[in-house]
Structure 1
Amino acid sequence: MFAQIKRLGADSLLYAFMNVGTKLIAFIMLPIYTSFIPDPAEYGVLDYLDRLTSMLTFLVIFGTDSALAYYYFESEDKKKRLEYVRSVMTFRLLIVLITAIVFLIGGPWLSQLLLEDASLYYLFNIAIGVMALDTVIALILTVLRYDFFTKKVVTITILKMLLIAVLSYGFLAYVSPTIDGILYGRLISVAIVALLLIKPLLKYIKFTFNKKLLKEILVYATPLVPASLAFWVIVNANSILLKEFTSLYEVGIYGSAVKFASLITLLTSGVQMAWRPFSMSLKDKKDSPVLFAKLYYGILLLGTIGILMVATLMPWIIRMLSDNYHEAYQYVAILSAVTFLNFFYMIISVGIFYTKQTKIISYAFGMAAVVNIILNVLLIPQFSIWGSVAAYLISYIIAITYIFFKSQKLYHVPVSFGKMTFLFLSSLLAVIAIVYIQESSIPDLNIVFAWLGFFVAILLSRIDKDLLKKRSTSI
């Protein structure tokens, strides 16, 4: 047992290192990309294309990742495991092929419809080429992860990101200072990684599949699709509707703000990967609810302080980008708050996972996806990017509120929803005050008062008392 715990801890650290490493590489490349692509509208094309590709990737995977995990570990027969992997690989590549045919036939028309320029149809071809190779690489890495080749998975993943960074820069600097250069850099990078994985690639690619096994996989996978679709809608609908109601310029500004907002995951990714095994290990311990209560409050407090720090520092940090992107800073803190909520829902849902009622999460984010689309349609025409940011935030608040109360019914943790809401909303008010000061002629020194107001809210909430108390009480 100790050996298994040791493996879990070591693997968690390695995967956390991988997540932080890949995000740091992406963060470093963002100002490089925007220096070569000073027009936010052109960067908006890249961001929009990436979101369309993510939708196609969702269709390619179609929940088969979770299904493969279940059946791979259920079967102890190595040949049957191989058949499961081959069946999934064939299914995914078949979807990629159908997608490629559609874009080859209707490329110019789709390019005019989606990118507002028929001559850009070749960008779809490059993106689908990258997606095809990434499909193969992702499945191979998944199987390696199942077989506990953690170091290999981490090394290849970071290598891929480094190759993309270096080759994209090379194309931008010496071949084509446009988004074409970034896409060609990606294509060559994933091709190199695929060649490095040629041995397992040849093992798993077999253009036949076991109908019975594939049916098992799809029957398991299909119910998971709505939840995955809801996540995709919440994350990507904003950019797509921004493009429809405004322009690719706004998409570019919003996309760069989202990239900066995702940096908060550098702080949360390690906790996120460790949380599930940690929380499950406390399932049957008597004092666990009290410990969870302190963790709920403590993580929320640290998260809100981090969001205020983002709001305060972002005008200076975002200067790394081209001046044309500077306005993006004002949206980053609120988007960081949403990113934090996307992490925090896992923390406050212990009851759901203890009782295996994970369908609640599907309901929550399905509802949030519908709200997100409605609010985007209502708010973007009036408030442009701010409307999209507000829709994103409100939809997540609705989802996390629903998850919290459902989880509390299944496994009560002695925390006050009102207190946590007060603390979070106080941080949002402080962020709004900070952004208002930064956008107006008011001296930046007044940001101190926004911070003081937030600390007063902390004192009024008496969260310090909850963090220090020794016994649980009914709240």
Structure 2
Amino acid sequence: MKRLGGDSLLYALMNVGTKMIAFIMLPIYTNFLTPDQYAPVGIIDRWTSMLIFLVILGTDSALAFYYFEKKDEKDRRSYIQSVMNIRLFMVLCLFLIVLIIGPLFANELLQSDQGLYWLYLSIGVLFLDTISALVLTVLRYEFHTIKVVVITVLKMFLVAVLSYLFLKFFVRSVEGILYGRIISGALIVLLLVKPLIKFISFKFDRDVIKDLLKYGLPLVPASLAFWVILNSSSFFLVFMKTPTDVGIYEAATKFAALITLVTSGIQMAWRPYSMSLKDKPNNKELFSKVYIIILLMGATGVLVVATIMPYVILLLDEAYYSAYQYVALLSAATFLNFYYLIISVGIFFMKKTKIISYAFAGAAVINVILNIILIPSYSIWGVVASYLISYLAAIIYIFVKSQKLYYIPVSLWKMSALFFVMLAGTIGIVYVQEHALSPLYIVLAWVVYVATVGITRVDKDLRGTRNHETN
């Protein structure tokens, strides 16, 4: 608990730093760019996030497993080198694909004559980030937490400063932001060159690559489905609504990332922490406490976001103000996006990673269907609903399957009560704000949530061991 708490705190501080930089830059970007001009930034970010899943090919989870499974340093390095080779090969393949078919769709997708050039720049960013990300991952597995924190914050700071300088003095468009990202990525790679040299090898160990792909490939459909859930809505908005709607939605999603100030530090610490406990005694009791603690933190965080968002959104240009109403529910979905990693330890321990793919494949289908049905009539609210419902379906399925594989003594009804009361309270708070009702109703939503925490008596689950089977 001390290790998880200490590393999570450091990573949380790191993410506070990076998110604060991002939040400071958002009103700067929106000052330079109108909603129509800002829309391509979100599209490129979502495009790049899809490519990242393809580049990784599930090797992040595979490396986490084998890094702690293998005790010999030489074996570990062989797995790291193989992961680097796989990822760089995928970047090359994606570049060739963009080179061949990019001219067919780039300008229409990004609604600019410069669209194809922007895609080329995004591949350059992807190449540099692929290299630095693997080095930082290994440093994280080695528990060099402070070094990871410093380098990550430095990278975000460089991106912010260089993007601002390009927008201010050279290119007032998406291009300026991409130039800032490329230069900052190159500087970070140079900073990491010493550990990086150890992970570069032109040898291909077939057995190691087979192990990595056997573990990781079943997660690729999950990653792609995850991308569909997270990002396809922006593309539906592009073709079914207006660029202004896309710009407002992108601004809302950036603010929804506030919730990651609570979750992202834990997420970065969780994989090495949970894998290192796989064979430890009494780990199930510890996992059950972590499940409840993180759910409480996330639910409380979402309610905080809902309460303060009308005031925080004032940082943006007035044209973006309507984005505030969507942020809290998007934050709830963002939390679910993180929380499935916590409650799926059984799936990863037992190497049943196909379950993750099944869950998110089904959720992606639900998401696409709901987007098609809801967006024409409800616009951004349709996106929010499809996003939240699809994630709920996936996380319920994953939790049930993980419990069957590796039972953790935690109460499902208590977890459900906390989440759905928080969700109802969030909807109520947004309704009160939209209709300018008395703030006392917001206080009431908080009172009901706190009462639910008391009624479910989750404090007993956190204090000591008890038999949860009856729950």
Query: Same-fold call, TM > 0.5?
Result: yes
1:316 Cα shift? Answer: 1.0
Query: What residue number does 2:116 align with?
Result: 121
Q: Cα distance 1:159–1:302, how it changes in 2: closer, same or farther (>3 A)?
A: closer
1:138 Cα shift? Answer: 1.7
Query: What residue number does 1:15 align with?
Result: 11
1:447 aligns with 2:413: no
Query: What residue number does 1:247 align with?
Result: 242
Mapped contact 2:305–2:328 kept (Cα < 8 A): yes
Mapped contact 1:297–1:463 kept (Cα < 8 A): no
Q: Cα distance 1:349–1:329, how it changes in 2: closer, same or farther (>3 A)?
A: same
Mapped contact 1:348–1:404 kept (Cα < 8 A): yes
Mapped contact 1:426–1:454 kept (Cα < 8 A): no
**2:236 alignment partner AA:** L
Identity of aligned residues (%): 54
Mapped contact 2:11–2:149 kept (Cα < 8 A): yes
Root-mean-square deviation (CA, aligned residues, Å) is 3.4
1:288 aligns with 2:285: yes
Q: Distance in 1 between matches of 2:338 and 2:195?
A: 34
Q: Distance in 1 between matches of 2:285 and 2:80?
A: 39
Of 425-434 and 221-230, more deviation after overlay is shown by 425-434
**1:467 alignment partner AA:** D
Q: Cα distance 1:448–1:153, how it changes in 2: closer, same or farther (>3 A)?
A: same
Query: What residue number does 1:234 align with?
Result: 229
1:448 Cα shift? Answer: 1.6
1:336 Cα shift? Answer: 1.1
Per-residue deviation, residues 114-142 of structure 1 (Å, max 9, x unmatched): 22334322111211111111122222333
Once the two structures are superposed, the pairs formed by residues 354-433 of structure 1 within 5 Å of their partners are 359-409=354-404, 410-411=406-407, 413=409, 415=411, 417=413, 420-433=415-428
**1:32 alignment partner AA:** I
Q: Cα distance 1:356–1:467, how it changes in 2: closer, same or farther (>3 A)?
A: farther
**1:256 alignment partner AA:** A
Of 327-336 and 266-275, more deviation after overlay is shown by 266-275
1:11 Cα shift? Answer: 4.5
Q: Cα distance 1:203–1:354, how it changes in 2: closer, same or farther (>3 A)?
A: closer
Q: Distance in 2 between matches of 1:13 and 1:424?
A: 24
1:139 aligns with 2:131: no
Once the two structures are superposed, the pairs formed by residues 92-171 of structure 1 within 5 Å of their partners are 92-171=87-166
The alignment partner of 1:413 has SS state of coil
Of 382-391 and 400-409, more deviation after overlay is shown by 400-409
Mapped contact 1:311–1:435 kept (Cα < 8 A): yes
Q: Which runs of 5+ in 2 are unaligned?
A: none
**2:60 alignment partner AA:** D
Q: Distance in 1 between matches of 2:58 and 2:348?
A: 19
Query: What residue number does 1:33 align with?
Result: 29
Of 114-123 and 265-274, more deviation after overlay is shown by 265-274
The alignment partner of 2:409 has SS state of coil
Mapped contact 1:226–1:362 kept (Cα < 8 A): yes
Q: Distance in 2 between matches of 1:423 and 1:364?
A: 23
1:322 aligns with 2:317: yes
Once the two structures are superposed, the pairs formed by residues 334-373 of structure 1 within 5 Å of their partners are 334-349=329-344, 359-373=354-368
The alignment partner of 1:117 has SS state of coil
1:71 Cα shift? Answer: 4.5
1:310 Cα shift? Answer: 1.6
Q: TM-score, normalised by structure 2?
A: 0.85
The alignment partner of 1:411 has SS state of coil
Of 180-189 and 216-225, more deviation after overlay is shown by 216-225
Q: Cα distance 1:199–1:388, how it changes in 2: closer, same or farther (>3 A)?
A: same
* Equivalent of 2:459 in 447, 451, 467: 467
Mapped contact 1:30–1:321 kept (Cα < 8 A): yes
Q: Distance in 1 between matches of 2:353 and 2:93?
A: 32
Q: Distance in 1 between matches of 2:151 and 2:135?
A: 11
Q: Cα distance 1:454–1:206, how it changes in 2: closer, same or farther (>3 A)?
A: closer
Mapped contact 1:246–1:384 kept (Cα < 8 A): yes
Query: What residue number does 1:59 align with?
Result: 54
1:267 Cα shift? Answer: 1.9
> What is the aligned residue count?
464
Q: Cα distance 1:191–1:466, how it changes in 2: closer, same or farther (>3 A)?
A: closer
Per-residue deviation, residues 295-341 of structure 1 (Å, max 9, x unmatched): 65665455434323222211110111111111110100101111222
Mapped contact 2:262–2:298 kept (Cα < 8 A): no
Q: Distance in 1 between matches of 2:294 and 2:193?
A: 43
Query: What residue number does 2:213 align with?
Result: 218
Of 114-123 and 344-353, more deviation after overlay is shown by 344-353
Mapped contact 1:254–1:328 kept (Cα < 8 A): yes
1:26 Cα shift? Answer: 1.9
Mapped contact 1:41–1:252 kept (Cα < 8 A): yes
1:424 Cα shift? Answer: 3.2
Mapped contact 1:108–1:118 kept (Cα < 8 A): no
The alignment partner of 2:114 has SS state of helix
Q: Distance in 1 between matches of 2:262 and 2:80?
A: 34
Q: Distance in 2 between matches of 1:438 and 1:183?
A: 36
Q: Distance in 2 between matches of 1:305 and 1:217?
A: 38
Q: Distance in 1 between matches of 2:127 and 2:13?
A: 26
Mapped contact 1:430–1:454 kept (Cα < 8 A): yes
Q: Which runs of 5+ in 1 are unaligned?
A: none
Once the two structures are superposed, the pairs formed by residues 189-228 of structure 1 within 5 Å of their partners are 189-206=184-201, 209-228=204-223
Mapped contact 2:344–2:402 kept (Cα < 8 A): yes
Query: What residue number does 2:174 align with?
Result: 179
1:239 Cα shift? Answer: 1.7
Q: Distance in 2 between matches of 1:341 and 1:403?
A: 11
